[in-house]
Amino acid sequence: MPLEQYRKKRNFQKTTEPAGGAEPNPSRKRTKLPRFVVQEHHATSLHWDFRLERDGVLVSWAVPKGIPPDPKRNNLAVHVEDHPLNYIDFAGEIPEGNYGAGGVSIWDQGTYEVVKWSDREVMVDLHGERVEGRYVLFQTNGKNWMIHRMDPPQDAGREPMPERLEPMQAKLSKGLPRDQQGYGFEFKWDGIRALAYISGGRLRLSSRSLEDITNRYPELRELGGTVGARELILDGEIIAVAEGGRPSFERLQGRMGLTSEADIRRKMKEIPVGYVIFDLLYLDGHATLEVPYADRRRLLEELKLKGRYWQTPPYTPGEGTTTLEASKQLGLEGVMAKRLDSGYQPGRRSDAWLKIKNHQGQELVIGGWLPGEGGRSGRIGALLVGYYQDGKLVYAGKVGTGFTERMLDRLQALLAPLRRATSPFEGGVAPPRKAIFTEPRLVGEFEFSEWTASGQLRQPSFKGLREDKDPRSVVRETPP
């Protein structure tokens, strides 16, 4: 019985989908070419339903990654039950609780010609509004088929999506560039850099060191679904927001190191993350690396990527002074100045991008601690920090603020086994007498107003641990 399976799975009192009449659609004349449809279906898992009109029904496949635009890629196509002919125009919301609940929209439709049709192989020429060309579907194992484009890509200039791009980096600048008109300005976000690769509705997040960090941030997964069939590489920063709405690197640390799914799920509620998107490196078959920054930003803004866990804050061309002032008022780290006419240089620290910080900050090595007084006696009152110069650890001062109670506990636990009798510091000003020294293994991120003439930090505060950093690589960023 045609459509028996289709009807069994659905309750037509409840779903918005058509039940399908017994008769083939009478309005269609036999002389016309048969029709096809591709429906984008935001069910539990996003997929595209590919349906071909044949013998009074729609022969159907669910294609998780969509219709491949390029013959280099075969996509899985799961053969599913025949659908009624009038399903070809169906779009709308399948209500919760029903089979395939979620939004359905028509991604493409048109006519097709059969080149070959057997039980195991279907070859067709599609004439759609989006898709034009020859495709073959072939059975690989039971319900599992593959869909392959046989023609060259429709877009003759199509470039495959790059798989491993390193993010472009900025040079530290003491102030705003003189020629503000030549730059676009963005807030500087205090989080971790991540590139987002989106294809076939699936998101992959890659860190600065090209590590796949997708599974660590499940709240960002749906960004892939939102993008649908478009193909993008985005550049941005993953942040965690502290009370008061300010991004906090320290807070983000509660998420960064987690890898077990259960830990991540639990911590997500307490420390949700957001993705702040600020650049576009690939769009629908074309790298945009050589497109000037101002035009990349325009393309990015046209994508309107805004959701609960991601956003695309605007940039301000020419307005460095006001952007920097606003960043101070908002308590942000600083601003980025990006040359409006500059291309994207993956992995390069280029002076086309400048970072201007409201506070100085850098990584420093922890070489001991000073016990606190009063309520903090016996516990950490301040950390003793330094940096390497000519192979020696130079003492840079003590840091007694910026810790949460939880972080102090953590530091206490991490430093206890590193304790040693002698000072690891060999240069600079002498550390305080009551110091308790440790092996110089831990690296922290610190903020301060300036370096004093004697090479000490002024008004330093602790920002967080940098467990990803090698202590031997820590040097003074702004030399005296």
Q: Rank residues 65 and 357 by Cβ distance to Mn ion and give the closer one.
A: 65
Residue bearing tokens 């996509």: 75
Among the listed residues 311, 280, 312, the one whose alpha carbon sits nearest the alpha carbon of residue 294: 280
Contact criterion met (CB below 8 Å) for 75 and 98? no
Q: Rank residues 60 and 206 by Cβ distance to Mn ion and give the closer one.
A: 60
Supply the DSSP symbol for 167: P
Q: How many whole angstroms separate alpha carbon 390 and alpha carbon 381?
A: 29
Q: Rank residues 47 and 297 by Cβ distance to Mn ion and give the closer one.
A: 47
Residue 191 Cβ vs Mn ion, minimum distance, rounded to whole Å: 36
Residue bearing tokens 């070959």: 116
Q: Rank residues 49 and 53 by Cβ distance to Mn ion and give the closer one.
A: 49
The sign of the torsion formed by the CA atoms of 199, 202, 207, 211 equals negative
Residue 91 Cβ vs Mn ion, minimum distance, rounded to whole Å: 12
Residue 144 Cβ vs Mn ion, minimum distance, rounded to whole Å: 16
Q: Rank residues 41 and 296 by Cβ distance to Mn ion and give the closer one.
A: 41
Contact criterion met (CB below 8 Å) for 368 and 434? no
Q: Rank residues 62 and 196 by Cβ distance to Mn ion and give the closer one.
A: 62
Strands 144-149 and 75-84 come out as: antiparallel
Q: Which residue's Cβ lies closest to Mn ion?
A: 41
Residue 226 Cβ vs Mn ion, minimum distance, rounded to whole Å: 18
Q: How many whole angstroms separate alpha carbon 450 and alpha carbon 440?
A: 23
Q: How many whole angstroms separate alpha carbon 382 and alpha carbon 435?
A: 9
Q: How many whole angstroms separate alpha carbon 290 and alpha carbon 412?
A: 49
Would you name the residues annotated as active-site residues? 188
Q: Rank residues 51 and 296 by Cβ distance to Mn ion and give the closer one.
A: 51
Q: How many whole angstroms separate alpha carbon 204 and alpha carbon 272?
A: 18
Burial of 141 per CB tally in 10 Å (0-12, 13-18, 19+):
exposed
Q: Could you tell me how many helices (H) and strands (E) the chain has, helices first? A: 7, 29
Residue 43 Cβ vs Mn ion, minimum distance, rounded to whole Å: 6
Contact criterion met (CB below 8 Å) for 394 and 428? yes
Q: How many whole angstroms separate alpha carbon 480 and alpha carbon 476?
A: 9
Residue bearing tokens 């945009």: 288
Q: Rank residues 41 and 188 by Cβ distance to Mn ion and give the closer one.
A: 41
Residue 100 Cβ vs Mn ion, minimum distance, rounded to whole Å: 5
Among the listed residues 51, 78, 52, 82, the one whose alpha carbon sits nearest the alpha carbon of residue 65: 78
Contacts of 215 (CB under 8 A, 6+ apart): 259, 261, 264
Residue 227 Cβ vs Mn ion, minimum distance, rounded to whole Å: 18
Amino acid at 199: S
CB atoms within 10 A of CB 103: 15
Per CB under 5 A, residues contacting Mn ion are 41, 49
Residue 401 Cβ vs Mn ion, minimum distance, rounded to whole Å: 55
